[in-house]
A and B are shown apart, each in its own frame.
Chain A
Amino acid sequence: MRRRAVALLMAALMTAGLAATGLTGCGDEGGGRESVRLMVWSPQGDQSKDAGEWLQTCCNAFAEEHPEYDITFVYGVADEASSAGQVSQDAEASADVFLYANDNLTTMTDADALVKFGGIYREEIEKTNSETSLASVMKDGEVYGVPFAINTWFMFYDKSVFTEEDVKNLDTMLEKGVVAFPFTNSWYLPAFYFGNGCTLFGDGTDASKGADFGGEKAQEVTDYLIDLEANPNFRIDDLGSGLAGLRDGSINAIFSGSWDAAAVKEALGDNMGVAALPTYTLNGEEKQMYSYAGTKAVGVNAQSKNMLPAVQLAIFLGNEYSQRLHYELESVVPTHTALLDDPELLSDEVVAAINETFNNTSILQPNLAEMANCWTPVENMGKGIRNGSITHENSAEQTEMMNETMNSDGI
């Protein structure tokens, strides 16, 4: 109860602050500069000299834009995946502004550690993001972050082996070359199930609907996967074996994300092809694979002592300038609508592929707490097929079992 009160107070403070900036905008130049200490967390790459110091550059630009503050920046290192854990453990000693992956949203809202954006700030976020990327940082109608990057996986392939026509269907690809897929990783494997009508939590937000990975539609997919695993041209990508295969030429296509783009480019050179997810042929019908997609977003700590500058900095780190810089320095794929319409960026095939994946061949990864139960059963399905314990004979009951465990809280 008390926490909630604090949150309300924060919201009130923010609006008050909003009014204050509006006022100070006109009068009072120089003189009473407010001294502010802002702690900012980002991955090491964003702060490294070799990669152009994205964070420092953006923060300094922000300070220049806001002469009313005398800001001391304190930088810390926490990548998008681990920052949520740190912040929810001890929000008071955590950064004012940090980057997080949107699937960790619930971890932090449960700990009341994340600020809700309101007023002009919310409008700004709504204005500059597509519906999907906006939805990725929303919970119960509130906006909890400023999206700045798309986070999903797609396909890299060798252009000398596959044509652009081939890469539209996985089974066509398997006839022509060797394809590796992270079969035992539950961030990837559900792609096949989503293709045949399986769903998670309705449209991804309704916990009461549960996981629907059962029935005939799921069993068909399990049967397809068993055959896929047995295909001599199919390899299971595990512990980096896919990338190693691309290097020595034994594998011609892998599924991964932008973090591997540089390594793939080095391995394939001009033959590097990038594409959104292919379809697969199930009982003669073409089914689209769907990946989990999410965003990386800038969040503001609810315990921050400098709420207004922190919120403004978060908005700044997600604006067009910062996202463009992020792309130029580190090839981070932006979410800003203005940038995604930019023909210069779209000529980068990785950006184009991610964008297409995000818009057409992905589902938003649910950020409900119940999602935690959905990882291991799918992973076990992949492992079971790999070691031969799941066969056509028992695929129906094994699929039901997977569905059951995904819907239970049992440990």
Chain B
Amino acid sequence: MKKEKMHSAKTKRFINNTIVHTVLGILAVVWVFPIVWVILTSFRAEKGSYVSTFLPQSCTLDNYIKLFTDTTILDFPKMFTNTLVIAIFSCILSTFYVLAASYCLSRLRFKMRKPYMNMAMILGLFPGFMSMIAVYFILKALGMTEGNLIKVALVLVYSGGAALGFQIAKGFFDTIPFAVDEAALLDGCTRWQIFTKITLPLSKPIVIYTTLTAFMGLWLDFIFAKVICRANSDQYTIAIGLWKMLEKEYIDSWYTCFAAGAVLISIPIAALFLYMQRYYVDGLSGAVKG
């Protein structure tokens, strides 16, 4: 009797697991499928944008080589460096803005605190590109829409509004006990020291999260870059470059390179994620004892 019950529980679990794994397997295929396809296309030797087979008939590295050597029409290495420079600077800036604003709103008490949070909430309801045209004309008035200043302009555009997205980081800071801050204050720390020496080391996961989202947002942004770069092809970011490759005149000869480019731009994000992932693990362990 007992044995039979155990047996049926085992069978039940087996059936459950089978169902769950099948569903997960199907979902995994659905999710991974497009990525696999892009990677396969990036190694495809046949030309053109249309193929009748899923697997490439023959493989080659030429698409990657062409991306970096054939720079007269679409200068991919230049676009890649442009984007990387912009991404690094605005990532640093906007991470700092977000964390600093969150810390202030979580720890300090001042008159504008509530109004500021309400305002940020309301502004956050509007999509960012609503202000695009206004932003463009402001930058133009400042003379930042030509030459290398475009890079500065883009850094400003991407990091400028960052402090409005404080909610998640502030929520995290709120969970760190005030007692820690008070202890530090008693020991003679300034607010800045508390922020850099105590709060930040305790909030690694959220710092990582902020950095990653800040980096990815602009790494993948197309619309602002397009509006601000206009005809300055030497300032193009990769998003614009990849889009150009799909235009009528270029699509036939650049399609496989487009796929190669898509694979390449995912590398910095993947690398950043892999490197930072390990900090996700500890977080709050060992913050306050007793």
- A and B are partners in one complex rather than unrelated chains: yes
Report Cα–Cα, A93/B252, bound state, in Å. 33
Q: Does A260 contact B (CB under 8 A)?
A: yes
Q: When the two chains form their complex, are residues B72 and A241 in contact, meaning their CB atoms are under 8 A apart?
A: no
Report Cα–Cα, A260/B47, bound state, in Å. 13
Query: Which stretch (A37-45, A127-135, A288-296, A375-383) binds chain B?
Result: A37-45
Enumerate A211-245 residues with CB–CB distance to B below 8 Å.
Answer: 239-241, 243-244
Q: When the two chains form their complex, are residues B48 and A93 in contact, meaning their CB atoms are under 8 A apart?
A: no
Could you say which residues of chain A place their CB within 8 Å of the CB of B92? none
Q: Does B111 contact A (CB under 8 A)?
A: no
Q: When the two chains form their complex, are residues A260 and B252 in contact, meaning their CB atoms are under 8 A apart?
A: yes
Report Cα–Cα, A248/B57, bound state, in Å. 12
Q: B75 — nearest CB in chain A belongs to which residue?
A: A44
Query: Which stretch (A61-69, A72-80, A298-306) binds chain B?
Result: A72-80
Q: When the two chains form their complex, are residues B72 and A49 in contact, meaning their CB atoms are under 8 A apart?
A: yes
Q: When the two chains form their complex, are residues A44 and B140 in contact, meaning their CB atoms are under 8 A apart?
A: no
Q: How far is the CB of A377 from chain B (nearest CB, A)?
A: 22
Enumerate B225-273 residues with CB–CB distance to A below 8 Å.
Answer: 230-233, 244, 247-249, 251-253, 255
Q: How far is the CB of A244 from chain B (nearest CB, A)?
A: 4
Report Cα–Cα, A94/B231, bound state, in Å. 8
Q: Does B185 contact A (CB under 8 A)?
A: no
Q: When the two chains form their complex, are residues B48 and A44 in contact, meaning their CB atoms are under 8 A apart?
A: no
Most buried by A among B48, B51, B74: B48
Candidates B48, B49, B50, B249; contact of A45 at CB < 8 Å: B249
Q: When the two chains form their complex, are residues A79 and B230 in contact, meaning their CB atoms are under 8 A apart?
A: no
Could you say which residues of chain A place their CB within 8 Å of the CB of B130? none
Q: A257 — nearest CB in chain B belongs to which residue?
A: B248
Enumerate A25-57 residues with CB–CB distance to B below 8 Å.
Answer: 41, 43-45, 48-51
Q: Does B288 contact A (CB under 8 A)?
A: no
Could you say which residues of chain A place their CB within 8 Å of the CB of B232? 76-77
Could you say which residues of chain B place their CB within 8 Å of the CB of A239? 49-50
Q: When the two chains form their complex, are residues B72 and A50 in contact, meaning their CB atoms are under 8 A apart?
A: yes
Candidates A43, A79, A244, A263; contact of B253 at CB < 8 Å: A263
Give chain B's interface residue range (CB within 8 Å of chain A). 20 to 34
Give chain A's interface residue range (CB within 8 Å of chain B). 20 to 34
Q: Does A86 contact B (CB under 8 A)?
A: yes
Candidates A51, A77, A90, A260; contact of B72 at CB < 8 Å: A51
Q: When the two chains form their complex, are residues B231 and A78 in contact, meaning their CB atoms are under 8 A apart?
A: yes
Q: When the two chains form their complex, are residues A244 and B50 in contact, meaning their CB atoms are under 8 A apart?
A: yes
Q: When the two chains form their complex, are residues A78 and B253 in contact, meaning their CB atoms are under 8 A apart?
A: no
Q: How far is the CB of A185 from chain B (nearest CB, A)?
A: 11
| A76-B230, A77-B231 known; A240 vs B247 contact (CB < 8 Å) | no
Q: Does A247 contact B (CB under 8 A)?
A: yes
Q: When the two chains form their complex, are residues B249 and A263 in contact, meaning their CB atoms are under 8 A apart?
A: no
Q: Does A259 contact B (CB under 8 A)?
A: yes
Q: When the two chains form their complex, are residues A240 and B230 in contact, meaning their CB atoms are under 8 A apart?
A: no
Q: When the two chains form their complex, are residues B50 and A90 in contact, meaning their CB atoms are under 8 A apart?
A: no
Candidates B46, B50, B70, B230; contact of A86 at CB < 8 Å: B230
Could you say which residues of chain A place their CB within 8 Å of the CB of B50? 239-241, 243-244
Q: How far is the CB of A250 from chain B (nearest CB, A)?
A: 8
Report Cα–Cα, A81/B52, bound state, in Å. 30
Q: B236 — nearest CB in chain A belongs to which residue?
A: A77
Could you say which residues of chain A place their CB within 8 Å of the CB of B248? 81, 259
Q: When the two chains form their complex, are residues A244 and B51 in contact, meaning their CB atoms are under 8 A apart?
A: yes
| A41-B231, A45-B73, A49-B72 known; A79 vs B49 contact (CB < 8 Å) | no
List, sorted by A's number, 18 A–B pairs whose CB atoms are closer than 8 Å: A44-B74, A50-B70, A51-B72, A51-B73, A76-B231, A78-B230, A79-B247, A79-B249, A93-B145, A239-B49, A240-B50, A240-B252, A244-B48, A244-B52, A248-B52, A259-B249, A263-B47, A263-B48
Report A's interface with B, CB cutoff 8 A. Answer: 41, 43-45, 48-51, 76-79, 81, 83, 86, 90, 93-95, 239-241, 243-244, 247-248, 259-260, 263
| Smallest CB-CB A-B distances: 6 pairs | A76-B231, A77-B233, A48-B72, A240-B49, A240-B50, A244-B50
Q: A77-B231, A240-B48, A259-B249 are in contact. List 8 more A-B contacts (CB 8 A).
A: A51-B72, A76-B232, A94-B230, A244-B49, A244-B51, A247-B47, A259-B248, A260-B252
